[in-house]
Structure 1
Amino acid sequence: MESSMQADIDTGEQSTQFLTFIMADEEYGVEILDVQEIRGWEPCTEIPNMPQYVKGVINLRGTIVPIVDLRQKFGFNNIEYSTTTVVIVVKVLVEDKSKIMGLVVDAVSDVHTIAHGDINLPPQWGQDYGPSVIRGLISINNKMVVLLSSSLLLDLEQFQNIEQIKGHNTQSSIVAND
């Protein structure tokens, strides 16, 4: 095993670890360094005027975290949440700001170390579909895994409303305490 590690060092082959998860009987992955924690599903506080895929927010140790159902965001059929349903909390740097979001998925699958050279670019669909959240595609055990970009999953315009609500609640609680 040591010789294979040495070969990676000698060839300069870089790799990244991805946490994979199941959604609609397909496997997806996000970079493990973006994953802050994995939590079981629990009800969250709904926020008015949000897209249906934004389930609400949770208070995670003093941080307001929007919770997004990836099934709904990607247009898949809804299912009842079960004991395997989890929330993957991701933290990414977007425009020099740290952003945290919870992703509701059907189940966690595995952690894979993937060489950068093995990642295939996603197909180009044209400009009609907007920016893709797909970072790349990889075949693992004869099964296609879709690698997602955590930073592109954040639709900043949608989550600005949540931040404004958070800021408003902070201001009103300060006024109430004076």
Structure 2
Amino acid sequence: IILNIGKRVIGMVVDAVSDVTSLAHDQVRPAPEFGTVLDTAYIDGLATVDERMIIIIDIEKLMTAEDMGLMDQAAA
């Protein structure tokens, strides 16, 4: 997968891509709060398509997060 993050273009290797789905704004619900059990800082929302739950992740936040150590702050 090719990503544009900040001012960089990077490639990410994934195991598989099963679908590419377009979602309308009204299909996306806010991510629930899980307290300290699960950090939802990188989750933009949840959607349901054909009885499947889709977790929408802010990939730029995730990749530039300090604890991930994948991208330096210059990319942000």
Equivalent position of 2:47 in the other structure: 138
Gaps of 5+ in 2: none
Computing the radius of gyration over CA atoms, which structure comes out larger, 1 or 2?
A: 1
1:91 corresponding residue in structure 2: 4
C-alpha distance 156-134 of structure 1, shift in aligned 2 (>3 A): closer
Equivalent of residue 29 in structure 2, options 108, 117, 120: 120
Q: CA 1:111–1:128 in 2, change beyond 3 Å: closer, same or farther?
A: closer
RMSD: 2.7
Q: TM-score, normalised by structure 2?
A: 0.68
* Cα distance, 1:131 vs structure 2: 5.5
Secondary structure at the counterpart of residue 112 of structure 1: coil
SS in 2 for 1:117: helix
Structure 1, unaligned stretches of length 5 or more? Answer: 1-87, 164-178
Aligned positions of 1:8-157 closer than 5 A: 88-93=1-6, 98-126=7-35, 129-130=38-39, 132-157=41-66
Greater strand content: 1
Runs of 4+ in 1 over 6 A off after TM superposition: none
Q: 1:131 to 1:99 in 2, by over 3 A?
A: farther
Q: How many Å separate the matches in 1 of 2:9 and 2:26? A: 29
TM-score by length of structure 1 reads 0.34
Instruction: Please report how far the alpha carbon of residue 129 of structure 1 lies from its aligned counterpart in structure 2 after TM superposition.
Output: 4.7
What is the aligned residue count?
71
Q: Which of the pair is proportionally richer in helix? A: 1
Q: 1:135 is aligned with what amino acid?
A: D
**Identity value in percent:** 29
